[in-house]
Structure 1
């Protein structure tokens, strides 16, 4: 058996080591917290008020897409659908149609973003709001950037073809454009075509 360390030396070494572990632990907590906690701007209730106003009656429109609808939507939107189930929120005020909204979540780089995509009663892109963003803030498109997407036809929603990208946030802007195209395509195939 080797020599035994005196208790006083052991306590000094432990105290020095403890400071190291406390500092290292604090750094790890900060890094994990920074990466785990994104910014949530609006909850679902607030989002629907943004879309239609506080006085609106909101109905849930659940769509169960057929195989042929999925194929058509993917062709129009140029994005892959992850599910055949999709939800629109329909806003009305005293029976008058105010428009449609969809809450769209997707991964930007490695973390999620949630957008509120709002359509007019005739199905045009009206507004987009960021509800939650979990990537670093410098990758988030500013609210004013979304304005260049409004009132455009589905075929006109092409990044760098009339829509300016964002330096340092290319993936975020691409994801936002894809979400807008997806919502417009689902509306066109599953709602507009049924109404006519």
Structure 2
């Protein structure tokens, strides 16, 4: 009996410890976020950017933080045959638990909006809509750092830092490898150089 009771307590303790990650607060699904980003009659196409180690390191240097993933899916919204924006979904840790955000870029590569899709940390640490309004209009060459161009968020410094770093990461990846026009240093690897679909730096549907 005592052994059974101890086993039950251990099970309950494990459930309590794992509850925060299994009960994620979801504010928007990916489909809902894309509908906000690209309302009708715009169409949306999913594409994937493939990076090699050197390209990931290059993006990390520009973003001021490591780019750990080598496969970056993103979504292109088009209207009348022309791009109207690019949506990237970024999942990252805040303190010990993850959040997922959408960074929507305008056709010129500047941030149009940032939405929080899910946030597993306590609600008190969630970035506010007012704080997120600092990002629209910022893009390559603009100051995107806490206490620089972006004001800190009182009581939620780690949350603010995580969102800011994600925004920097997306802007850097887009400018270097996705933007229609190459950066001043030369053409983006894999675009216009004959790289086959799936090669490092290449973009494919």
TM-score (norm 2): 0.77
2:121 is equivalent to residue 135 of structure 1 = yes
Contact 2:87 2:104 (8 Å CA) reproduced:
yes
> Bigger CA drift: 131-140 or 77-86?
77-86
| Residues 117-175 of structure 1, C-alpha deviations (whole Å, 9 max, x = no match) | 00000111110000000100000001121111221234400101131111111000000
Shift of 1:32: 5.3
In the other structure, the counterpart of 1:71 is: 57
**3-state SS of paired residue (2:174):** helix
Shift of 1:90: 0.2
CA RMSD of aligned residues (A): 2.6
Q: Which protein has the larger Cα radius of gyration, Structure 1 or Structure 2?
A: 1
Aligned length: 178
**3-state SS of paired residue (2:132):** helix
Shift of 1:67: 3.3
In the other structure, the counterpart of 1:42 is: 28
Which consecutive aligned stretches of 4+ in structure 1 deviate over 4 angstroms post-superposition? 25-32
Larger helix percent: 1
| Distance in 2, Cα, partners of 1:87 & 1:165 | 29
In the other structure, the counterpart of 2:174 is: 187
Q: Which ranges of structure 1 fall in alignment gaps of 5 or more residues?
A: 1-13
TM-score (norm 1): 0.80
